[in-house]
Amino acid sequence: MSHPTESADTRTDITTVTQHILEQQRAHKGSTGDLSLLLTAIASACKWVSNVVRKAELLKVVGVAGTTNVQAEQQQKLDVLSNEIMINLLRGSGRTCLLVSEEDEDALFVSGDERGSYCVCFDPLDGSSNIDCGVAVGTIFGIYAVKDIANPTLKDVLRPGSEMIAAGYCMYGSSTVLVYTTQGCPVNGYTLDPNLGEFLLTHRNIQIGHKNIYSINEGNCATFDKAITTYLHDIRYPPKEGAPAGWKPYTARYVGSMVADMHRTLLYGGIFLYPGAKLRILYECFPMAFLVEHAGGAATDGRTRMLDIVPSQIHARSRIYLGTKAEVERIEQLYAELM
């Protein structure tokens, strides 16, 4: 244990993300170490993206790139740069065979010596419309194991999210925080020490918090369905028959950057809602649902557990509600009763 007066720079009892990945690998008998290498490559990519995000204004990479992505959204220069960084490091890890990026219409099949046994779906820089005003953005990723390494196909990722073997995000906010979990293991968080250039274990075994916070883009309220309108009414106004002692309306918080909104939801609790089917299943909904479930929460599209959905194509979208179990169950109940 460190002494309270000891500065972070003189501590020696720190755990780096690499140490922790290796520790977890040793605990898994028969593990090949391939996933460890892949996760280490992702951590390196996130450090690199963090570096360019932090220096964006200085490197003159703010603003639009003048191109659009597959969803006809304007690409920011940093979207393009972050995508290149991710692809570079994922391919270079020698552990991937199939890459699906929000920024690329087609999946990328890795060939030759660089081919490995994992498929990675990612959004290299989510929330990038927030970049120019310095609001938190993030990288999101989900990992599947390929069925036949000699013949990877899109079917390897067009599978339920529950079949992912790992997922996570890195938030580039007031600090850079990498949060990930592997199938059946705790969710851990690592904060980038900018001086050491290392992610250090800072959030061990994250369990979703218990605060009553809701997070939704209220500007879209004209399009909300009856279940969501009812839910929002119930959390804002006391019940007609009289509020129980201590009843308080929920607090509203919305950054508009999924990684930041989900990071807060994981740490503090509450619910994140996106009722319009905007968010992409493979690299936004699934990784966040995987994390929230591993942290003791739940995720749904209102009718179906999010991780049971099978995407019809790599850029398929879904509505999504995720957060503490009680809130998600309430939404599922309203969908069953009212829709």
Which chain residues interact with ligand AHM by CB under 6 A? 73, 102, 123, 126-129, 217, 256-258, 261, 278
**Minimum distance of Mg ion from residue 191's CB (angstroms):** 23
105 binds, among ligand AHM, Mg ion, none (CB under 5 to 8 A by kind): none
Length of the chain: 339
217 binds, among Mg ion, ligand AHM, none (CB under 5 to 8 A by kind): ligand AHM
User: In terms of CB distance, is 35 or 85 closer to ligand AHM?
Assistant: 85
Alpha carbon 82 to chain centroid, angstroms: 15
Show the CA angle centred on residue 228, arms to residues 224 and 233, nearest 5°: 110
User: In terms of CB distance, is 256 or 296 closer to ligand AHM?
Assistant: 256
Task: Note the residues at the interface with Mg ion (CB under 5 A).
Answer: 123, 126
Residue number of the CB closest to Mg ion reads 126
**Minimum distance of ligand AHM from residue 210's CB (angstroms):** 22
Q: How far apart are CA 173 and CA 48, in angstroms?
A: 14
User: In terms of CB distance, is 116 or 127 closer to Mg ion?
Assistant: 127
Of the candidates 220, 231, 298, 224, the residue with the CA atom closest to the CA atom of residue 256 = 220
Would you call 18 exposed, middle or buried from its count of C-beta atoms within 10 A (0-12, 13-18, 19+)?
middle
**Minimum distance of ligand AHM from residue 126's CB (angstroms):** 5
Q: How far apart are CA 282 and CA 303, in angstroms?
A: 18
117 binds, among ligand AHM, Mg ion, none (CB under 5 to 8 A by kind): none
128 binds, among Mg ion, ligand AHM, none (CB under 5 to 8 A by kind): ligand AHM
103 binds, among ligand AHM, Mg ion, none (CB under 5 to 8 A by kind): none
User: In terms of CB distance, is 99 or 232 closer to Mg ion?
Assistant: 99
83 binds, among ligand AHM, Mg ion, none (CB under 5 to 8 A by kind): none
User: In terms of CB distance, is 40 or 139 closer to ligand AHM?
Assistant: 139
Which residues make Cβ contacts (< 8 Å) with residue 2, sequence separation at least 6?
Answer: 11, 13
- What are the b/e assignments for 189-211, b being 16+ CB within 10 Å? bbbbbeeeebbbbbbeebebbee
Alpha helices in 218-338 (DSSP H): 226-236, 258-268, 286-294, 325-338
Q: How far apart are CA 69 and CA 280, in angstroms?
A: 13
257 binds, among Mg ion, ligand AHM, none (CB under 5 to 8 A by kind): ligand AHM
User: In terms of CB distance, is 129 or 162 closer to Mg ion?
Assistant: 129
Contact 294, 185 (CB under 8 A): yes
**Minimum distance of Mg ion from residue 317's CB (angstroms):** 11
User: In terms of CB distance, is 80 or 258 closer to ligand AHM?
Assistant: 258
Tokens of 106: 């087609």
**Minimum distance of Mg ion from residue 283's CB (angstroms):** 7
Tokens 């002692």 belong to 245
332 binds, among ligand AHM, Mg ion, none (CB under 5 to 8 A by kind): none
**Minimum distance of ligand AHM from residue 216's CB (angstroms):** 8
Contact 284, 139 (CB under 8 A): no
User: In terms of CB distance, is 250 or 254 closer to ligand AHM?
Assistant: 254
Alpha carbon 202 to chain centroid, angstroms: 18
**Minimum distance of Mg ion from residue 9's CB (angstroms):** 35
